Amino acid sequence: MAITGAAGRIGSVVRAGLRDEVARLVLIDRVGLTAQTPTEDVHQLDLRDAEAVTAALKGVDAVVHLGGIPDEAPLPDLLDGNVRGTHHVLEGARRQGVRRVVLASSNRVSGFYPVTETVTHEMPARPDGLYGVSKVAVEALGRLYADKFGLSVVCLRIGSFEDAPSERRHLSTWLSPRDGFGFIRTALTAPDVRFETVYAVSANLRRFWDTDAGANLGYIPVDDAEAFASRLAAGPDPAESDPQGGEYASAEYTLRHM
Ligand code: NAI
């Protein structure tokens, strides 16, 4: 198996979880890592280097692609890091005969739906910023490689991956490390997948997203942000028309990062 973005916040959790489960774990990041077990195989490279990505995926059966820019940024950077980077991973996977690619998408592909709406993966994208637009393109690349080249692809629309909820929006969007790992491991191993899109969110009482697709894939989340509700600063409840993306959906947020 392989992890891109293995040095990152989610990558570190997935690395620790998979390390003892697989015979060989390929770790890819532009940040230098040190192998911690004989099973780990470190590749320091930039995902914008297509040949290096393809070479690192030799002999790999499944890859979870987490590497990229995880937030709002100028569009050229997002196109380069997220869209080109993902293309290189999918193309490397095709050339090396990789069976399954799990793509890190984001809840922010649909952050302009109002908080009152339960969103399913089948509804049209409503990105809340340019980062969300880049993840729509990431999902489209995954669909193309599944349809055209027969790759098995799972897009995970990741919620807010945090040790614990730290703001009120997280009551709806939190993805605990335990559930995050659970979704990713299931996405890597579930049988008979051509193309699936799944919201990866904990079992939050106030969640915005439908979790049936995740259950069909084989993972039912266990944590609920509601357990932390009393610890979060009381604030006004979101208005019915507010977008799910909260501050991320504001004009100022995108203008500040452009
Ligand atoms: P992170 O920023 O902690 O980790 C990303 C890793 O990718 C870093 O180690 C970085 O060095 C590496 N990277 C970035 N660009 C690279 C490049 N061009 N070549 C090689 N390596 C590169 O991000 P995090 O939080 O672990 O997120 C992982 C993925 O999950 C990202 O794709 C992000 O968009 C997605 N995601 C994360 C969410 C979260 O709550 N953390 C929510 C929704 C989606």
Please give the average per-residue pLDDT across 129-133, as a whole number.
98
* pLDDT range class, residue 228, cuts 50, 70, 90: very high
Phi, psi of 175 (to 5 degrees): -125, 110
Active-site residue list:
131
Distance 29 CA to ligand 1 centre (A): 10
Phi, psi of 124 (to 5 degrees): -60, 145
Closest residue CA from atom 41 of ligand 1: 161
For residue 129 and ligand 1, the question of a CB distance below 6 A is answered with no
* pLDDT range class, residue 241, cuts 50, 70, 90: confident
Closest residue CA from atom 33 of ligand 1: 70
Could you confirm whether domain 2-257 is CATH 3.40.50.720? yes
Residue 70: closest CA among 164, 135, 156, 141: 135
For residue 48 and ligand 1, the question of a CB distance below 6 A is answered with yes
Please give the average per-residue pLDDT across 181-208, as a whole number.
98
pTM for the full model? Answer: 0.98
State both tokens at 177.
Answer: 């490390």
Q: Could you give the strand order of the β-sheet that contains 152-158, starting from the edge strand earlier in sequence?
A: 40-44, 25-29, 2-4, 62-65, 100-106, 152-158, 195-200
Name every residue whose Cβ is closer than 8 Å to that of residue 97 and which is 6 or more positions away in sequence. none
> In sequence order, which ranges of 120-190 are alpha helices (DSSP H)?
130-149, 170-173, 177-189
For residue 66 and ligand 1, the question of a CB distance below 6 A is answered with yes
For residue 81 and ligand 1, the question of a CB distance below 6 A is answered with yes
If you ran DSSP here, which 8-state letter would residue 6 be given?
T
Name every residue whose Cβ is closer than 8 Å to that of residue 119 and which is 6 or more positions away in sequence. 110, 113, 199, 208, 209, 210, 244
Find the angle CA(6)-CA(248)-CA(79) to the nearest 5 degrees: 50
* Cα gap 193→94, rounded to integer Å: 16
3-class SS of residue 125: coil
Distance 257 CA to ligand 1 centre (A): 17
Distance 234 CA to ligand 1 centre (A): 30
Mean pLDDT (the chain, rounded)? 97
Element containing residue 119 per DSSP (H, E): none
Report yes or no: 257 and 73 within 8 Å, Cβ to Cβ.
yes
For residue 7 and ligand 1, the question of a CB distance below 6 A is answered with yes
The pLDDT assigned to 235 comes to 74
The pLDDT assigned to 166 comes to 95
78-106 pLDDT, tens digit per residue, is: 999 999 999 999 999 999 999 999 999 99
